[in-house]
Amino acid sequence: MLRRYALPASLIAAALVLPFVDRALGTDFLFTAIVVAVFVLLALGLNIVVGFAGLLDLGFVAFYALGAYVCGWLASTHFRQVSFSLGSTARSLTGEPLPGIHISFWLILIIAAAFTALCGVIIGAPTLRLRGDYLAIVTLGFGEIIPRFFLNGDNLFGFNLTNGTIGIKAIDAPGIPFVPFESWQRFSQLDLSPWYYTILALVLLTVFVNVRLQNSRLGRAWISVREDETAAAAMGINPVTTKLWAYALGAVFGGIAGAFYGAFIKNIFPTSFSFSISILILCMVILGGMGNIYGVILGAIVLQAINRYLLPQLNDLVHALGDALGSEALSQADIPKYNFLLFGLLLVLVMLLRPEGLIPNRQRAEELHDEDPSTGDAMGGPARA
């Protein structure tokens, strides 16, 4: 009992005291921690789709974008035509009613989750009958359409839905009224700890859902459909419904992450939801270990660390080296340019050398090292003849 809960409990405790440690050391680490946590949330959402149900989704960024835009629409002055407030922290200075829709952030999280789940079902229902690689391409198409739609949606028959390239600005801050702490009544950029605890709570909720799903009826149904759809169907599991649940649940967490991100960053625009984000999240899941919750969290942290710390550090290091050696090429080298190369190499190498990831899910590892091609396809679909 004690041993089983020792690791998760210590990890949660470490996460809880992080802001205090950060303040004591004065490292200004919280902003990064929040961004990493958003990606952990996204990776956990995608893990349900890819890791548990074995459906490759190349357009996961679409749900992230939808969540962020739901947050933008419901908590900013974007829809000037109407004025509606509900439990929001936004106050007008003049006492006039505020233009636009302003709904409490906590409600928006629920609305965004429901909305993205609905979108997931709409997209998933007709496509989940397809074979794995076709499904991957459909999700990719969907993931390409959504940001482009946001980009072009500033004039839909004269109606400005998404404000085009400018995006939605000045999104309301979340807040909890009636609490005695000033910083919690309205989250600000001065004290990041309320943001941090909010996203931590969301991540823990997601982990809890992931853990509970793994051995539930649904989780087992996912494994069986992933292993052999025909056999699963013969045993009375409806493959389409089962996959649809995975898709919708994954979408929910993508949407929640998007809504939080929108409120946190305050300004959202379509270019921040590119295909490379989808691939980044996929890399996190694959590198960490598909279907393993610790693995996915580790993958997200490692890749974000590479992105935010290692590459800039490497950049400085190479420049210093170039100056020391008097090499023009090295001192001018622009390491962030190699970002794509890094992710490409990572995907190829992980798939060739250790397809089960850093911390493998035992079951998945066995499937991926199954050299006998006659026993079916570990990621959905029949064996390749």
Partner 1 sequence: MQAARDPAQFLSQLLIGITNGSIIALIALGYTLVYGIIELINFAHGDNFMIGSFVGLTVLSGTFFGIGLFAPITDESGLLLKALGVGMAMLAAMAVCGLLGVGIERVAYKPLRNSPRLAVLITAIGMSFILQNVGLLWKGPAQVPFPDLISGANLLDSGEIVFRYKDLFVIAVTVPLLLALSYFVQNTKQGKAMRAVAQDKEAAAMVGIDVDRTISVTFLLGGMLAGASGVMYGLFNGITVFNVGFTQGLFAFTAAVLGGIGNLTGAVVGGILIGVIAAMSDQYIGVRWTEIMIFAVLILVIVFRPRGLLGDRSAVQGGGE
Nearest to partner 1 of 87, 312 (CB atom):
312
How many angstroms from the chain centroid is the CA of residue 120?
Answer: 15
Site for partner 1 in 304-363 (CB under 8 A): 337-341, 343-348, 351-352, 355
3-state secondary structure of 290: coil
Asked whether position 286 contacts partner 1 by CB under 8 A, the answer is yes
Residues 234-273 that bind partner 1 (CB under 8 A): none
Q: Give 197 or 275: the residue with its C-beta nearer to partner 1.
A: 275
Among 107, 118, 136, 265, binds partner 1 (CB under 8 A): 136
C-beta of residue 24 within 8 angstroms of C-beta of residue 31: no
For partner 1, what does the binding mask look like between residues 365 and 384, x meaning CB under 8 A?
--xx--x-x---xxxxx--x
**Tokens found for residue 363:** 């079951």
Q: Does 282 bind partner 1 (CB under 8 A)?
A: yes
Sort residue 164 into left (φ over 0), alpha (ψ -120 to 50) or beta: left
Q: Rounded CA gap, 343 and 141, in Å?
A: 21
User: What are the φ and ψ backbone dihedral angles of 316, each rounded to 5 degrees?
Assistant: -60, -40
Beta partners for 86? 103
157 scored as a contact of partner 1 (CB under 8 A): no
94 versus 374: smaller Cβ distance to partner 1: 374
Q: What is the DSSP letter of 175?
A: -
Strand partners, 102: 75, 85
Residue reference for tokens 């969907």: 142
Using CB under 8 A, which of 21, 122, 133, 366 touches partner 1? 133
C-alpha dihedral (293, 299, 300, 306), degrees to nearest 10: 170
By CB under 8 A, which span of 2-10, 11-19, 125-133, 228-236 interacts with partner 1?
Answer: 125-133
Residues 22-61, mask of contacts with partner 1 (x by CB under 8 A): --------------------------------x-x-x---
Q: Select from 28-36, 217-225, 278-286, 314-322 the region that touches partner 1 (CB under 8 A).
A: 278-286
Establish if 4 lies at the interface with partner 1 (CB under 8 A): no
> Could you tell me the CA-to-CA distances from 126 to 149, 167, 224, 229, 240 in Å, in that order?
21, 31, 21, 17, 9
Q: Pick from 54, 65, 79, 84: which is nearest to 361 by CA? A: 54
Q: Determine, following the binding rule CB under 8 A, whether residue 152 of this chain makes contact with partner 1.
A: yes
Question: Could you list the residues that contact partner 1 (CB under 8 A)?
Answer: 54, 56, 58, 126-127, 130-134, 136-138, 140-142, 144-145, 148-149, 151-152, 275, 279, 282, 286, 337-341, 343-348, 351-352, 355, 367-368, 371, 373, 377-381, 384-385
